[in-house]
């Protein structure tokens, strides 16, 4: 079974068999989208055991960073992203070289943003944008829009954040169905951006719809994040108790699946 069978970068489907480094990485990405952290980490470790250097080894380190960042571990994630960036040049002649470099740099930007280093995040995003310009890889373009939106929110620029989030949605939709999780996460980012812009009614509508999508596709980490947001702003279709139950159920499932919570 090859990665090509799942499209450009599939991120939520029944987990395939993983044999090659590329397949192991794809499998880990799919597992992470479902909140299956232990499974994802095991596949990433096996990938590096088979292929200790090169593009997929670098991507595996960036993915490890993403697992930490999903649950608040931005400081720890920076170490993994730094290692990923250091390793990426060993794959300079590999077709995934740009993806490896860009994933590490965007990850470092998100790490910096998570600890309040906004200027550093902005510089890293500029570097990533230059690297990926014309690459034709939708996944990278969507990730850039997410972190650009988050940076705008951190600076209080709600309308700018909304524009970046909507751009991410458009790119993910054009790549459908390969970037299904990216499409749903773009809605999560949009809901948060709308909050920043003061459009709470629109934010509730987006978040409620995305919450339903996370249930349909088993995207537990995103479902948890949306429930946390809806607890703050209120849902238009669910009671506060229902939203709290969803949040707590997701948190418990994430823990049972190997998620490691962090405060920073």
Domain containing 101 equals 1-6+17-115
Whether 153 maps to a domain, the answer reads: no
Whether 187 maps to a domain, the answer reads: no
CB within 8 Å of 200: residues ≥ 6 apart: 194, 233
Cα Rg, the chain, nearest whole Å: 17
Whether 68 maps to a domain, the answer reads: yes
pLDDT of amino acid 3: 32
Q: What is the DSSP letter of 178?
A: T
Residue range 254-263: average pLDDT? 92
Whether 80 shows a pLDDT value over 50: the answer reads: yes
Q: What is the pLDDT of residues 208-249, one digit of tens each?
A: 999 999 999 999 999 999 999 999 999 999 999 999 999 999
Residue showing tokens 């279709």: 237
Whether 73 maps to a domain, the answer reads: yes
Distance CA(49)–CA(96), nearest Å, equals 19
Whether 109 maps to a domain, the answer reads: yes
At 93, the pLDDT band (50, 70, 90 cuts) reads confident
Residue showing tokens 């990923």: 84
Whether 59 maps to a domain, the answer reads: yes
Residues in the chain: 264
Residue 2, helix vs strand vs coil = coil
CB within 8 Å of 201: residues ≥ 6 apart: 236
Whether 252 maps to a domain, the answer reads: no
We report the CATH number of the domain holding residue 98 as 1.25.40
Q: What is the DSSP letter of 51?
A: -
Whether 258 maps to a domain, the answer reads: no
* Structural domains of the chain, count: 1
């Amino acid at each position: 079974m090859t990665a090509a069978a799942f499209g450009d970068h599939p991120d939520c489907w029944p987990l395939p068999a993983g044999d090659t480094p590329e397949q192991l990485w794809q499998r880990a990405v799919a597992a992470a989208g479902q909140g299956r952290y232990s499974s994802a980490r095991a596949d990433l470790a096996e990938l590096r055991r088979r292929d200790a250097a090169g593009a997929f080894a670098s991507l595996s380190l960036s993915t490890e960073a993403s697992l930490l960042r999903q649950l608040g571990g931005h400081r720890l994630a920076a170490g993994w992203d730094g290692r990923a960036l250091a390793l990426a040049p060993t794959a300079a002649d590999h077709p995934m070289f740009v993806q490896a470099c860009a994933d590490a740099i965007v990850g470092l930007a998100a790490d910096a943003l998570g600890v309040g280093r906004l200027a550093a995040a902005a510089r890293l995003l500029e570097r990533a944008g230059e690297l990926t310009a014309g690459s034709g890889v939708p996944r990278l373009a969507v990730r850039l829009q997410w972190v650009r939106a988050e940076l705008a929110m951190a600076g209080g620029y709600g309308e700018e954040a909304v524009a970046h989030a909507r751009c991410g949605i458009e790119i993910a939709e054009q790549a459908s169905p390969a970037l299904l999780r990216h499409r749903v996460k773009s809605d999560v980012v949009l809901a948060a951006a709308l909050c920043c812009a003061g459009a709470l009614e629109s934010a509730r509508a987006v978040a409620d719809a995305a919450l339903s999508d996370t249930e349909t596709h088993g995207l537990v980490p995103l479902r948890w994040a949306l429930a946390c947001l809806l607890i703050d702003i209120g849902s238009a279709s669910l009671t506060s108790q229902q939203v709290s139950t969803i949040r707590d159920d997701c948190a418990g499932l994430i823990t049972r699946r190997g998620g490691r919570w962090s405060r920073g």
